Amino acid sequence: TQTPGTTERALGFQAVPVSMDNQVVVPEGYSSKTFLPWGTPITGSYPDYRADGTNSGADQEEQVGMHHDGMHFFPIDQKSGGNSSTEGLLVMNHEYINQKAIHAEGATYNADDSRPADEVRKEIAAHGVSVVHIKQDANGEWDVVFGSALNRRVTGGTEMEIRGPVRGYHKLFTKFSPNGNRTRGTLNNCSMGPTPWGTYLTAEENWHGYFANSDATQPREQIRHGVGSESRYDWELADNKADQYVRFNVSALGGSASEDYRNEANTFGFMVEIDPFNPESMPQKRTALGRFGHEGVIFAPAKEGEPVVCYSGDDSRFEYIYKFVSSKPYYAATAGGYLLDEGTLYVARFNEDGSGEWLALDLEDPAFAGKVDAAKGTTVGDVAFDGFENQADVLLNTRLAADIAGATPMDRPEWGAVDPNTGEVYFTLTNNTKRTEDQVNAANPVAQNKNGHIIRWQEAGNDYTAGSFEWDIFVFAGEQGTETVVDGDAVVTLNDDNIFNSPDGLWFDYNGRLWIQTDGYSDEPFGNQMMLAANPETREIKRFFVGPQGCEVTGVVTTPDSKTMFVNIQHPRGNWPNAAEDRPRDACVIVTRNDGGVIGA
Ligand code: FEO
Ligand code: CA
Ligand code: CA
Ligand code: CA
């Protein structure tokens, strides 16, 4: 068994060059193999994947979803204190879909512009999360454990509980849940975070695109996120007019809020907790962590008797980074999701001098309450602000609350990671081409930031509950020669071995190496999207992996022994990974070292 943070962080592999080929590239001495592509049967009747796109909606509900994103490996014996590296639950998100690839002839419409209901069913089922029980055989080959009761699909239609302060708030009343306690489905699940008690939090990122609102005016809960008059996939137009589908029309249809779905969009934008070891458990939307375009969530190491702390980014241009601190203390023996239901949500302000502050978004905090009072009667962003009804209203409108608090608008915060050796917290700021010269600040210093950067901070006194921190920029992404300068010295100068743009996925492995995944542009000189490894101590960075054409590389985890690495490939192009088929399939890639050694060492 390894103790995190006690072994070498040096990068022992030879960097791979940039690549434009439609295949995965790994270093010399390593091998890769695709695993769990979209459509792999994992539950129920285990319906075979049909390469012509003719699987039904019911089939998709029993198969791996599309557009793989964040992912975690839970050792099968974890509950009993074990650390298996040969059997476990691989849990992964399915962020969105390729409508052209998912059906035989792409998305279709009837003569009256409605959509065939089974197409809608299939698209909703291709979203969400897959829990897959996997095991290595005697030859070291990984496969699905056929018939395991732990295999599970959670989809855009699975019933879920609303938890925390927003539960039961009248702005969540719907025809489905007149008391605002439940909803159906999780959508646009991008990054994730494993909790200290062995469950999985999945993030709801660009959920706004799934709803249509044709009312003349929209509520502020939708305006701040950009819900439009048309939805991305037109699910509300399903021709069977099933309640499950018409709910994506969030227009007010007359009468009261509990007679239609005007409030349905208020049940999305949260972190959702799934217990992978309890397939009967209902997923829980944890509203105390705020409602926004959640990307990853990263927990600080849990300490006995102290609050639970986690961080989450809001991936939109000029949005913010948040921290949640639980009210109740963590005790390993009794820890659970209830710890995420009571606490304080903070938002980050990065000062020009390298210091930073956490601003409470809590009506009982005098500083915040004073700012809320002062903002009443003004326009905040695009919203005429008339106050918050209560703390549930604050959390439902987290972005608005953060505007009022005076947080620092960032260059699209994506994933976070905590260095097991130093306790520093890292976040990717993927890019922001809309930032103008007069909008730059020390933490986001690049105008038209097309390549992105990675920021990090250390909490005051290395106490994760602290109200202040010290920050610096770990690295600026870009072309060859891009420098990251500290006290006048270039501590990183990018070269052929490590040019990259648009850092997105971020993960510290169990030895303290930092893995950086990209979701950006593939023009020369960058080529296809990639994954690099960094030594956080020396800032040495080397390209480890290049994905196939058109994809982003997102989601990475290893087994506890660091000898099997899982990497997700999202929205590949053409017919990757199977040249004999005629449509692309998102897939996981298993990376191993030919000598059986530790990945990256
Ligand atoms: Fe879905 Fe922010 O990446
Ligand atoms: Ca992402
Ligand atoms: Ca991204
Ligand atoms: Ca993506």
DSSP 343-393: EEEEEEEE-TTSEEEEEE--TTSHHHHHHHHHHTTSEETTEE----SSHHH
Once rounded to an integer, what is the mean pLDDT over residues 447-469?
A: 98
State the distance from the centre of ligand 4 to the C-alpha of 245, rounded, in angstroms: 24
The reported pLDDT for the residue numbered 7 is: 54
Three-state secondary-structure class, residue 439: helix
Q: Which atom of ligand 1 is nearest to the CA of 519?
A: 3
Instruction: Tell me how crowded residue 301 is: count the other CB atoms within 10 A of its CB.
Output: 13
Three-state secondary-structure class, residue 484: strand
Interface predicted TM-score of the whole assembly (ipTM), two decimals: 0.92
Residue 110 maps to a domain = no
Counting the structural domains of the chain, the total is 1
Residue 220 maps to a domain = no
The reported pLDDT for the residue numbered 510 is: 96
Rounded CA Rg of the chain: 23
Residue 211 maps to a domain = no
The span from the CA of 89 to the CA of 78, in Å, is 10
State the distance from the centre of ligand 2 to the C-alpha of 554, rounded, in angstroms: 7
Residue 350's DSSP bridge partners are: 356
Three-state secondary-structure class, residue 136: strand
Once rounded to an integer, what is the mean pLDDT over residues 312-319?
A: 98
State the distance from the centre of ligand 2 to the C-alpha of 413, rounded, in angstroms: 9
For residue 97, the ligand closest to its alpha carbon is 4
The reported pLDDT for the residue numbered 8 is: 79
Three-state secondary-structure class, residue 125: helix
Atom 1 in ligand 1: residue holding the nearest Cα = 190
State the distance from the centre of ligand 2 to the C-alpha of 191, rounded, in angstroms: 6
State the distance from the centre of ligand 1 to the C-alpha of 504, rounded, in angstroms: 7
CATH at residue 458: 2.130.10
The span from the CA of 501 to the CA of 529, in Å, is 8
Domain that holds residue 552: 30-91+124-205+269-275+289-593
Residue 2 maps to a domain = no
Q: What is the pLDDT of residues 2-58, one digit of tens each?
A: 444 445 799 999 999 999 999 999 999 999 999 999 999 999 999 999 999 999 999
What residues does ligand 1 touch, defined as CB less than 6 Å away?
95, 190, 205, 295, 315, 414, 504
Torsion sign across C-alpha atoms 43, 44, 47, 53: negative
The reported pLDDT for the residue numbered 3 is: 46
Q: Which atom of ligand 1 is nearest to the CA of 95?
A: 1
The reported pLDDT for the residue numbered 2 is: 40
The reported pLDDT for the residue numbered 254 is: 86
State the distance from the centre of ligand 4 to the C-alpha of 232, rounded, in angstroms: 15
Residue type present at position 591: V
The span from the CA of 411 to the CA of 318, in Å, is 6
Q: Which atom of ligand 1 is nearest to the CA of 190?
A: 1
Residue 482 maps to a domain = yes
Residue 298 maps to a domain = yes
Atom 3 in ligand 1: residue holding the nearest Cα = 190
Q: Which atom of ligand 1 is nearest to the CA of 295?
A: 2
Residue 440 maps to a domain = yes
With CA atoms as reference, report the closest residue to 295 among 201, 198, 208, 397: 201
Sequence length of the chain is: 601
Q: What is the pLDDT of residues 221-231, one digit of tens each?
A: 999 999 999 99
Residue 479 maps to a domain = yes
pTM above 0.90, yes or no: yes
Q: Do residues 54 and 63 lie in contact, with contact meaning Cβ atoms separated by under 8 Å?
A: no
